Structure 1
Amino acid sequence: MASPPPSYQTDLPLPSASQPGDKFLDHEDRSTPVPIHVVTSASQLPVEFLEPSPQEQLVIGFDCEGVDLCRTGALCIMQLAFPDAIYLVDAIEGGETLIRACKPALESSYITKVIHDCKRDSEALYFQFGIKLNNVVDTQIAYSLIKEQEGRKRLTDDYISFVGLLADPYYCGISYDEKEEVRILLRQDPKFWKYRPLSELMVRAAADDVRFLLYIYHRMMEKLNERSLWYLAVRGALNCRCFCVNDNDYADWPSLPPIPDKLTVDGDAPEEEILSVLDVPSGKMGRIIGRRGATIMSIKESCNAEILIGGAKGPPDKVFIVGPVKQVRKAEALLRGRLLDVY
């Protein structure tokens, strides 16, 4: 007779622990124990997740692990954090059938997916499973918007890591030493997430990447004003599309959130945000990047837009620009100018 699957448990920080500097993990009344379920069949997932409904809208923590996660690297685990449980959706054991069962939820506007830096996760889901990740709250974007509200101008490539976010006293104020332990293991063996059965370390590390997200989400919602909330929704949607370039200019993706009427009444409406994809001729990417990245860094400093290069994970011949229309057009002009320069 087969033995039952191992049982795992972790703590979820409670949203009610809302004072800056709270270290909730030091206090039992500020966290709640929840089970960790390793999922190999869709029947193990909550019905309200599998069948999204406007009557039962959800907010969940979300992340993916894989081998060189991108359009070609294998997606191995998809983590879902609910208020009462964490589900590790095993793409290796459950296969494509399991991940495709999650498609309605991942594409649904009724389920908010809280994630830290959605771009490569979205790319893997789109190219490997045809899933268009939708309705995300990207905590990396939200953090930058909150800092802008507080008067700090975002510097070039000033993106907080998940480890850095957890260390911020307002959110968690904790060190995430185990993350570095897993990174070392990944450098030693890039196939770390592909091995089965899942080890206790793998289960714990996968759960740790999502168990704080709902707490952080509630903390961020306390800070974000209506203008920033619109930027958060639009930039999250654009970042989901970013590396998922296709032939129909994203026509089959969900529409971008419109500018709320409340933000247009005073004549100071935010500028429309767009994603532009610039094709770079073969052998010319060096002109865009420059020696030790000097050229691309200079262009980033000149434009209030996010500029990303497909790089080794692909697509290597494209530059992605996200931001307000005028700033994106400025970045396009500067990038094209570099392509015309002769050394």
Structure 2
Amino acid sequence: MWRRASLGFQRRWRSGKTTRSEWPASYKKTVEEWLVRSDGSPSAASAASAADSQRVEPDVEANEEDMVRRLPVRLLSTATQTHALAQRILESDQHSIAVDCGGEKMGRFGKLALVQLATKDEMFLIDVEMGGEDIVQPLKPVLMNVGLVKVFHDCREAASLLLNQYHIPIYSVYDLQVAFTAWLEREGLEIYQAGLAEIMRTFSLSAYRLHRWDRLERSEIPSPKWHERPLQPQVIRKAVQNVAHLLPLQSTLNKELGDPSGTLIQRRSMHYLEYANMNSKELPSETASLRSGVKVKAMLVSKKPGAAYFKLNHSVTGAVLEDEDLKEFVDLKPGDVADCQVKSVSPCQSFAHLQREGHGNLWFDRHQSRMMKLPSQEQMDEARPRRQSSLYGHQGAPGRPNLQEDRRSFREQKPTVVHKLGKRGAVKVKKTGFTPPAPRQRYAG
């Protein structure tokens, strides 16, 4: 019985159906057990795990390597280390790197705590909380390099934070959320913006199980935890997992879309980068008052029956909840941007109720599949000026109308009122309609 159970476990292990995690289930381990030292030498815990891995059977280890991301993680806390890393990446033959950011309230007015980078061989955690702004600036040549593709998952808030607070624009971005949306379009499915966990469940289910992403989804990390030092193990695990699987998912999605170079998704990801400049003039600061009538640009995030939610590149979220207002957003898909105006602000100051610009004067053009604005009377007169009648000057005879309708028939019409003889002048009205002749009766002889 024991031998049969062990053989069954080995078969499940080789097939990748086991739920064994690469990361320990306990969160009581110290940071040193998770990280590799900056000089490249492994810690005691990593050396012990390496010794244990040598005792695994060769075929099991080879099968596991295909599904589990075994990359060393290095923690950088000084600008010198970040500068050396940037030079190393730029001088290498890397075509793509994975990038992610962590912090409290990410976005234009957020606070950055950690920058995660991943290559094919290793991962780096750049501690912005300890190193300050100086530790981020050496990454500028890497993020602005056009020949190096930066793989993100939903880069909007990270791009906005880096541009508005550190003045670092990002070029050549491949966004997995945009790629997943393109895959939904190709499959003819409903378009929505998926999280990283859902993308992994769809295209890398074995890695999802082995790395225990089900626990990551259930355990939400509070925002202040990103800024606590030393870093907590659950924060490190979350940061590493958010960036470790981006490059394999990029390769898988490129194959699914039939675009090995990923050029299509890079072009589509450009409007995610434009989000960083959205509403910079309309809402220059976080304390700028959002009042009724203020015109803003809004990017659709989610649309459901009875509600639609928008990103404003601000700490306030846009919302449309009334049916009359929702009808004017029927042409938008997730990721599209529309010109709107603020209708009201919620009492909690977290939501701005929006109306589309030109509210009440819009109509949906089904041929172009977009909302159109009804033209004004002045625009109609300009497009179609009033012309004088072509019959101007052709007057009829005096006392007669200018236009006369032709008679239906030129036959002599008999009077419709006749006096029937012998009835003392009784008036009889003649029927003008056609009366068919009576049918002849046949007599049987």
Q: TM above 0.5, one fold? A: yes
Cα deviation for residue 146 of structure 1 reads 1.9
Please name the residue that 2:202 is paired with: 168
The one-letter code matched in structure 1 to 2:196 is: F
Equivalent AA in structure 2 for residue 83 of structure 1: K
Deviation readout 1:274-316 (Å, 9 max, x if unpaired): xxxxxxx941379997762646654443245733589978999
Residues 72, 336 of structure 1: alpha-carbon distance in 2 compared, 3 angstrom cutoff: farther
Cα distance in structure 1, aligned partners of 2:76 and 2:64:
28
1:205 match: 238
Change in 2 beyond 3 A, CA 1:25/1:191: farther
Deviation at 1:231, TM superposition (A): 3.7
Number of the residue aligned with 2:336: 307
Q: Which amino acid aligns with 1:211?
A: A
* Match 2:129 to one of 92, 97, 111: 92
Pick from 222, 226, 243 the counterpart of residue 255 of structure 2.
Answer: 222
Distance 2:226 2:274 in 1: 25
Equivalence map 1:49-128=2 (5 Å): 49-50=86-87, 53=90, 56-128=93-165
Structure 1 residue runs of 4 or more that deviate by more than 6 Å after TM superposition:
285-290, 309-319, 334-337
Secondary structure (helix, strand or coil) at the match of 1:102 reads helix
Which one has the largest radius of gyration? 2
| Distance in structure 1 (CA, Å) of the matches to 2:325 and 2:158 | 24
Partner SS for 2:330: helix
| AA at the equivalent of 2:151 | V
Partner of 2:381: none
CA distance in 2, matches of 1:292, 1:315: 11
Corresponding residue number in structure 2 for 1:284: 293
Q: Distance in 2 between matches of 1:170 and 1:336?
A: 51
Counterparts of 1:41 and 1:223 in 2: how far apart (Å)? 40
Mapped contact 1:299–1:335 kept (Cα < 8 A): no
Question: Could you say which residue in structure 2 is the equivalent of 1:245?
Answer: 278
User: Distance between the aligned counterparts of 2:183 and 2:320, measured in 1?
Assistant: 33
Select between 37-46 and 309-318 the one with higher mean Cα deviation. Answer: 309-318
Please say if 1:8 is aligned against 2:34: yes
Partner of 1:267: none
Inter-partner Cα distance in structure 2 for 1:236 and 1:117: 9
| In 1, Cα distance between equivalents of 2:325 and 2:85 | 45
For the Cα contact (< 8 Å) 2:197–2:217, is it kept in 1? Answer: no
Q: CA deviation at 1:173?
A: 4.8
Query: Match for residue 226 of structure 2?
Result: 193
Aligned residues of 2:99 and 2:118 also touching (Cα < 8 A): yes
TM superposition shift of 1:244: 2.0
Q: 1:85 to 1:305 in 2, by over 3 A?
A: closer
Residues 299 and 334, structure 1, Cα contact 8 Å, conserved in 2: no
Contact 1:50–1:102 (CA<8 Å) still a contact in 2?
Answer: no
The one-letter code sitting in structure 2 at the alignment partner of 1:233 is Q
1:195-232 per-position Cα deviation (integer Å, ceiling 9, x unaligned):
11111111111101111111111111212235994441
Secondary structure of 1:65's aligned partner: strand
TM-score (norm 2): 0.52
Residues 83 and 170 (structure 1), Cα distance of their counterparts in 2 relative to 1, 3 Å cut: closer
**What are structure 2's unaligned runs of at least 5 residues?**
1-30, 37-45, 47-59, 282-289, 299-307, 309-318, 357-364, 377-445
The change in CA–CA distance for 1:296 and 1:233 in structure 2 (over 3 A counts) is farther
| Whole-angstrom distance in 2 between the partners of 1:335 and 1:165 | 41
Q: 1:303 to 1:42 in 2, by over 3 A?
A: same
Contact 2:203–2:252 (Cα < 8 Å) also in 1: no
The count of corresponding residues between Structure 1 and Structure 2 is 277
State the one-letter code of the partner of 1:196. Answer: R
Alignment partner, residue 28 of structure 1: 64
Normalising by structure 1, we get a TM-score of 0.66
Matched, 1:37 2:78: no
- The CA distance in 2 between the partners of 1:129 and 1:318, in whole Å, is 33
Contact 2:174 2:262 in 1 (8 A): no
Question: What is the distance in 1 between the residues matched to 2:34 and 2:248?
Answer: 21
Q: 1:86 to 1:170 in 2, by over 3 A?
A: closer
Give the superposition deviation at 1:106.
0.9
1:18 aligned residue: none
